[in-house]
Amino acid sequence: MILGIETSCDETAAAVVTADGYVLSSVVSSQADLHARYGGVVPEVASRRHLDLVSPVVREALDAAGVTLDGVERVAVTQGPGLVGALLVGVSAAKAIAWARRLPLVPVDHLSGHVASLYVEPEPLVPPFLCLLASGGHTLLLAVRERGASERLGTTLDDAAGEAFDKGARLLGLGYPGGAELDRLARDGDPGAFTFPVARVSGLDFSFSGLKTALLYAVRDLGPDQVELRKADLAAAYQRAIVRALVQRIDEAVSVTGLDRVAVVGGVAANSALRAALPGVRFAPLHLCTDNAAMIASAARYVDELPYPRYLGLDAYASVS
Position 40 scores a pLDDT of: 81
pLDDT band of residue 175 (cuts 50, 70, 90) is confident
- As a whole number, mean pLDDT of residues 195-209 equals 93
Return d(Cα 190, Cα 164) in angstroms, integer.
Answer: 19
What is the side-by-side order of every strand in the sheet holding 23-30? Answer: 23-30, 11-17, 2-6, 74-80, 105-109
- As a whole number, mean pLDDT of residues 65-89 equals 98
Contact assessment for residue 63 and residue 21, using Cβ atoms and an 8 Å cutoff: no
267-272 — which CB contacts under 8 Å span 24+ positions?
267/134, 267/135, 267/136, 267/162, 267/179, 267/291, 268/134, 268/135, 268/139, 268/161, 268/162, 268/165, 268/179, 269/132, 269/134, 270/180, 271/165, 271/179, 271/183, 271/239, 271/243, 272/183, 272/187
Return d(Cα 129, Cα 262) in angstroms, integer.
Answer: 6
pLDDT tens string 149-172: 999 999 999 999 999 999 999 999
Report whether CATH 2.60.40.10 matches the domain 2-120+289-313.
no
Considering Cα of 221, then 223, then 229, then 233, what sign does the dihedral take? positive
On the CB side of 104, CA atoms within 13 Å amount to 14
Counting residues of the chain whose pLDDT is more than 70, the rounded percentage is 100
Enumerate the β-bridge partners of residue 15: 4, 26
Task: Identify the CA nearest to 16 among candidates 30, 34, 1.
Answer: 1
Identical fold for domains 2-120+289-313 and 129-284, yes or no, is yes
Q: Is the pLDDT of residue 94 over 90?
A: yes
pLDDT band of residue 31 (cuts 50, 70, 90) is confident
- As a whole number, mean pLDDT of residues 185-212 equals 95
Position 38 scores a pLDDT of: 80
Give the distance between the most distant pair of CA atoms in the chain. 63
**CA Rg value for the chain:** 20
Extents of the domains making up the chain: 2-120+289-313, 129-284
Pairing assessment for the beta strands 23-30 and 74-80 based on DSSP bridges: unpaired
Position 133 scores a pLDDT of: 98
Q: Is the pLDDT of residue 177 over 90?
A: no
62, 114, 134, 283 from 280: Cα distances, Å: 36, 20, 18, 9
Contact assessment for residue 288 and residue 264, using Cβ atoms and an 8 Å cutoff: no
Pairing assessment for the beta strands 74-80 and 139-146 based on DSSP bridges: unpaired
Enumerate the β-bridge partners of residue 151: 143
Stretch among 33-47, 90-104, 175-189 having the lowest mean pLDDT: 33-47
Counting residues of the chain whose pLDDT is more than 90, the rounded percentage is 92
pTM assigned to the model: 0.95
SS3 category, 108: strand
Position 321 scores a pLDDT of: 61
Q: Is the pLDDT of residue 145 over 80?
A: yes
pLDDT tens string 280-321: 999 999 999 999 999 999 999 999 999 999 999 999 999 876
Contact assessment for residue 106 and residue 74, using Cβ atoms and an 8 Å cutoff: yes
129-284 CATH: 3.30.420.40
